[in-house]
Amino acid sequence: MERNVLKNQSHINKARARFIIGGGTIALVVIAFFILSVNIPNPEWGRYWRVKPLLLTPFIGAFGGMVMYYCTRLAAFLQINKVAGFLLSMPVYLVILWIGIVLGLNGTLWN
């Protein structure tokens, strides 16, 4: 009996890791698009103005991926279709991603 429970835990951890890595990767791509669109940065921003958004936004995106994973697990617990649960958790991730972009670009592009 214990062996079967541990096998399920391994599958859950892999799925959670996929959501977290996917959320962080999407956030990194989005913030890189914003950062690379700046040709001439404002001198008031400092020399390393890109570091904060490139670290903060993917971290918050990964957190959003984890929240999205738990929303889909909640949908499965409530016996809602997997696709419907995934689609219902998308707005939650998008709001968290938006908050990460705002916090990452605060003081530079988001003024």
Are 64 and 23 spatial neighbours (Cβ–Cβ below 8 Å)?
yes
Averaged pLDDT for residues 24-47: 92
Which whole-number Å values give the CA distances from 56 to 14, 51, 61, 63, in the listed order?
24, 8, 9, 11
Structure tokens belonging to residue 111: 């003024």
Query: What's the pLDDT tens digit per position in 59-94?
Result: 999 999 999 999 999 998 899 888 888 898 999 999
Q: What pLDDT score was predicted for residue 52? A: 93
Confidence (pLDDT) at 76 = 87
11 falls in which pLDDT band (50, 70, 90)?
A: low
